[in-house]
Amino acid sequence: AQTVTQSQPEMSVQEAETVTLSCTYDTSESDYYLFWYKQPPSRQMILVIRQEAYKQQNATENRFSVNFQKAAKSFSLKISDSQLGDAAMYFCAYLTPYSGGSNYKLTFGKGTLLTVNP
């Protein structure tokens, strides 16, 4: 079974600074998707960014980018120019993208709580 590990239960960053959240995963598959979700205090799950394993280029969405190291099974999230609104719980998630055995089930890490200090 696939597992997702987020080794940092909590992180903090100063406003306007850069922070990196870590995520590692374990899989025997070669084709998969990885996601970062943000959960603010409202509880809503918001997709931040996603990466297809077959793509060598790291995904980027505005101030959010990932460092995808397929061989190391590492998928870290970098938030640049941190803003107060970035404060949230962040979840890393894994998906095997075919309906055979996985049935499109997302597997989540335990989360990292990010605090942004003014």
Binding residues for other proteins, rule: CB under 8 A, are: 4, 6, 9, 33, 42-45, 47, 50, 91, 95, 97, 99, 103-111
Instruction: Give the nearer residue to other proteins in terms of CB position, either 16 or 45.
Output: 45
Q: Residue 15 in 3-state DSSP? A: coil
Nearer of residues 17 and 29 to other proteins, judged by Cβ = 29
Residue 61 Cβ vs other proteins, minimum distance, rounded to whole Å: 14
Residue 58 is given by DSSP the state: P
Question: Among 7, 25, 1, which Cα is nearest to 102's?
Answer: 1
Cα separation, 28 vs 25, in Å, equals 10
Shortest Cβ 14–other proteins spacing (Å): 25
Nearer to other proteins, 82 or 109 (CB): 109
Question: Of the two residues 42 and 56, which places its CB atom closer to other proteins in the complex?
Answer: 42
CA distance 113 to 97: 28
- Ranges of H-type helices in 3-117: none
Do residues 48 and 81 make contact, with C-beta atoms less than 8 angstroms apart?
no
The least CB distance from residue 16 to other proteins, in Å, is 29
Provide, rounded to whole angstroms, the least separation between the CB of residue 103 and other proteins: 6
